[in-house]
């Protein structure tokens, strides 16, 4: 693959059309990488103001000693705001970052096609529209592709390189090589609703919002469990307040509608009500949380200290939670081993088992308590527990005391299928497996996208390999039995792998 050459005058010219936050960020990336850049915006004066904003940002980089003053001056010498599309005639790459309206993008690229050379690459930064549809009005649709940058473009490494139905392989190769030369991490994907990240990430938000609607716990507790047990950098409630509830809900709705209302992608009514009420998150001062000046963040529900059990019996093995056994022994609590089962038995008769898509209340053993999945039980600082409605209070206290003896905070949540982390991760793994099976992207690109685009603690396919295809399938089947709407139906790709006892991709 050959990247677009960098130059100091006209060679390697990159044009950016649309000078909002994303357009400015893309222009800055190309500038710092050594390209001459021309900025165009249909609104009078906006391109010049954007050039000034880029100069200010580069100045801040100089102040932070991340860029030399000479480097800033050289970069700014290559930046030219223009007022006419004809001024983009010499561009080798045009990146569009205008409003997310199909007609507007088609009109722009039709106009550009009559201006630029036949060798110029055309790229749309759309996050929600079909690249194929954008290119459908062009005489030469083969040179148009998607380059989906993530905000803020100068900081986020991921770029999704999206091939439309008519995109030439050579065009995609050249675009990928170019963004790689800019220091970005490109991943290739097909033109499908949500591409990689916005498709596979939907359960991270949807399952937490559904848990809230089911009154499993409050947003602060659900966020804490997913952060401190699941290993995610931010919980879904605080993250969507940062993104903007209107923006996040619109992406979810767009993917759901584009996939013909697939029940796995159903939007959240609670989030829809937030958006309708104007509570869009930080930018409006209120979302799931109150962001007004001086407003404190509510604390997650955390259990009071309880006495740990004097000993524990391991029946069978705990599957993905087997690492707990070593932690219990390290805490000085004796562990005996029994050959049959998949649970921990405490001296008072309490039976502790890993969340598997069923509820503790469904367990025929009354004193049943479920514990949630963790990314790594050794490093997790919080674990969620849910007790059967028939369990005596002493059973819950014993279970709480056991995890507290391991140095964990404990959040007691309502007893629902899959709890919090388990159902979220099982869905993420299956969405990733299904995306690969449908040709959305290669396995390595899926995990790279989720690691670098949304900062997941582990790629979902790698996570699935740790958990095992059968555990993921069985958890989803149990969830599907509890909620037979199709939302939790495991994909055929996952079912096949689990049946053959194959590793996930």
> Which sign, positive or negative, has the C-alpha torsion 429, 434, 437, 441?
negative
User: Any bridge partners for residue 37, and if so which?
Assistant: 14, 79
- Report yes or no: 216 and 206 within 8 Å, Cβ to Cβ: no
- Report yes or no: 170 and 143 within 8 Å, Cβ to Cβ: no
Supply angle C-alpha 328, 329, 335, rounded to 5.
90
User: Any bridge partners for residue 253, and if so which?
Assistant: none
> Six-digit token pair at 92?
């080798």
CA 473, CA 492: separation in Å to the nearest integer?
10
Mode of pairing for the β-strands spanning 368-371 and 382-387: antiparallel
CA 191, CA 170: separation in Å to the nearest integer?
16
Q: What DSSP line would sit under 50-112, residue for residue?
A: HHHHHHHHHHHHHHTTSS-HHHHHHHHHTEEEESSGGGGTT-SEEEE---S-HHHHHHHHHHH
- Residue 11: which residues within 8 A CB-CB, separation 6 or more? 5, 36
> Six-digit token pair at 497?
């792998």
Largest CA distance in the chain: 80
Would residue 127 show up in a list of annotated catalytic residues for this protein?
yes
Q: At what angle do helices 469-482 and 492-499 cross, to 10 degrees?
A: 130
The one catalytic residue among 160, 207, 228, 433: 160
The one catalytic residue among 35, 148, 280, 343: 148
> Six-digit token pair at 475?
């958890």
Would residue 160 show up in a list of annotated catalytic residues for this protein?
yes
The one catalytic residue among 198, 395, 398, 411: 198
> Six-digit token pair at 289?
């949380």
CA 162, CA 144: separation in Å to the nearest integer?
9
- Residue 256: which residues within 8 A CB-CB, separation 6 or more? 262, 265, 266, 267
Residue 329: its H or E element? helix 323-330
The one catalytic residue among 125, 127, 229, 478: 127
Please name the residue ranges forming H helices in 406-468.
421-437, 443-453, 460-467
Residues identified as active-site: 127, 148, 160, 198
């Amino acid at each position: 693959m050959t990247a677009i050459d960098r130059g100091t005058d006209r060679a390697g010219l990159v044009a950016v059309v649309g000078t909002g936050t994303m357009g400015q960020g893309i222009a800055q990336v190309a500038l710092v990488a050594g390209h001459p850049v021309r900025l165009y915006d249909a609104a009078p004066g906006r391109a010049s103001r954007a050039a000034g904003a880029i100069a200010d940002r580069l100045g801040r980089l100089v102040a932070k000693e991340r860029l030399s003053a000479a480097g800033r001056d050289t970069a700014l010498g290559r930046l030219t705001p223009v007022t006419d599309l004809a001024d983009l005639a010499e561009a080798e790459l045009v990146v569009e970052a205008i409003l997310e309206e199909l007609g507007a993008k088609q009109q722009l690229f039709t106009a550009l096609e009559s201006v630029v050379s036949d060798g110029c690459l055309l790229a749309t930064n759309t996050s929600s529209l079909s690249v194929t549809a954008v290119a459908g009005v062009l005489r030469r649709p083969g040179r148009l592709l998607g380059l989906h940058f993530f905000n803020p473009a100068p900081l986020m490494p991921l770029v999704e390189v999206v091939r439309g139905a008519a995109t030439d392989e050579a065009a995609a190769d050249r675009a990928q090589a170019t963004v790689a030369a800019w220091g970005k991490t490109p991943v290739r994907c097909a033109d499908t609703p949500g591409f990689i990240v916005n498709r596979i990430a939907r359960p991270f938000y949807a399952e937490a919002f559904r848990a809230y609607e089911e009154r499993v716990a409050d947003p602060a507790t659900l966020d804490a469990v997913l952060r401190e047990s699941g290993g995610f950098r931010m919980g879904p409630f605080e993250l969507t307040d940062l993104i903007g509830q209107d923006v996040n809900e619109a992406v979810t709705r767009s993917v759901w509608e584009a996939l013909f209302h697939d029940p796995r992608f159903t939007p959240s009514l609670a989030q829809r009500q937030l958006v309708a009420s104007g509570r869009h998150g930080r930018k409006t001062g209120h979302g799931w949380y109150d962001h007004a000046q001086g407003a404190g963040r509510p604390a997650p529900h955390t259990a009071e200290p309880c006495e740990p059990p004097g000993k524990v019996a391991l029946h069978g093995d705990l599957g993905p939670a087997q690492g707990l056994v070593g932690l219990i022994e390290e805490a000085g609590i004796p562990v005996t081993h029994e050959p049959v089962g998949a649970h921990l038995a405490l001296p008072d008769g309490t039976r502790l088992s890993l969340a598997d898509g069923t509820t503790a209340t469904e367990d025929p053993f009354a004193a049943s308590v479920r514990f949630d999945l963790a990314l790594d039980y050794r490093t997790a600082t919080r674990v969620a527990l849910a007790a059967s409605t028939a369990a005596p209070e002493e059973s819950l206290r014993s279970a709480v005391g056991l995890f507290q003896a391991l140095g964990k905070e404990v959040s007691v949540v309502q007893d629902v299928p899959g709890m919090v982390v388990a159902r979220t991760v099982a869905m993420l793994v299956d969405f990733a497996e299904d995306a690969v099976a449908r040709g959305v992207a290669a396995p390595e690109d899926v995990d790279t996208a989720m690691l670098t685009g949304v900062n997941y603690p582990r790629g979902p396919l790698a996570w699935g390999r740790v958990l095992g295809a059968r555990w993921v399938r069985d958890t989803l089947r149990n969830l599907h039995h509890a909620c037979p709407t199709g939302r939790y139906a495991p994909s055929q790709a996952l079912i096949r792998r689990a049946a053959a006892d194959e590793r996930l991709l």
